[in-house]
Amino acid sequence: MPNSLRTVCVYCASSERTPAIYHEAAARLGRHLAGEGFGIVYGGGASGSMGRMACAALEAGGKVTGVLPRFIDELELGYISLTERHLVDNMHQRKLLMLELSDAVVALPGGCGTFEELLEAITWKRLGLFLGPIAIVNVNGFYDPLADLLGRAIHEHFMDEKHGAMWSMVAEPEEVADALRAAPPWSAAARAFAVPR
Ligand code: AMP
């Protein structure tokens, strides 16, 4: 693993109402990342998969940093005592800071917030703005349709075939550390093939 891989940004759901399998997977991911010695950066929320992931990581001795826009902080009902908390002005600053603080990205199943965060990270990597590994945890086959959609985007040349190396998909949270370590290197030279010609 590159020595620079120390902090992982986790995108996951805020919903309390998803099937239990997703909350359990979030807790497993938190424990796994903490056990592997990774620091975690996430959206800072206490609800849903976010809260389960953060609490499990903290209980396992991990370091967890939350990044929240002030308006979400005011909406939050629960509160977790995190290692570190950053309050920012808006969603754009939040996503920027989350990536700036992180060496890698992991997405669990989620809603539109998780989708846009994950797809932004992939887009930034395509443009050579974020260079770290990206792992998608395909709990319960949740991300099968996204895998199909990204595959189709490549097949129909909306993206280059090389772009398929930007992310990896794993079935279980415990496979994440190995997937991050095994990710092919990526550099700002990716800008040269960002646009299929
Ligand atoms: P979603 O998957 O739509 O529930 O959105 C979750 C993602 O969006 C997380 O990774 C967070 O970064 C962000 N997010 C959405 N809602 C909240 C919230 N109530 N508190 C903190 N972060 C949130």
Structural domains in the chain, CATH included, are: 7-141+161-182 (3.40.50.450)
- Residue 22 Cβ contacting ligand 1 at under 6 Å: no
- Residue 19 Cβ contacting ligand 1 at under 6 Å: no
From the CA of 166, how far away is ligand 1's center (Å)?
23
Q: Which are the contacts of 62, defined by CB distance < 8 A and separation ≥ 6?
A: 30, 33, 34, 35, 38, 39, 40
Q: Per-residue pLDDT tens for 139-163?
A: 999 999 999 999 999 999 999 999 9
State which ligand 1 atom lies nearest to the alpha carbon of 115.
2
Neighbour-count burial of 85, counting CB atoms closer than 10 A to its CB (0-12 exposed, 13-18 middle, 19+ buried) = middle
Q: Which are the contacts of 146, defined by CB distance < 8 A and separation ≥ 6?
A: 115, 136
> Is the backbone of residue 60 left (phi > 0), alpha (psi -120 to 50) or beta?
alpha
Question: How far is it, in rounded angstroms, from Cα 165 to Cα 187?
Answer: 12
From the CA of 108, how far away is ligand 1's center (Å)?
12
pLDDT at 2 over 70: no
| Total-model pTM | 0.96
From the CA of 110, how far away is ligand 1's center (Å)?
8
Q: Per-residue pLDDT tens for 62-84?
A: 999 999 999 988 887 777 899 99
The whole-number average pLDDT for the span 105-132 is 98
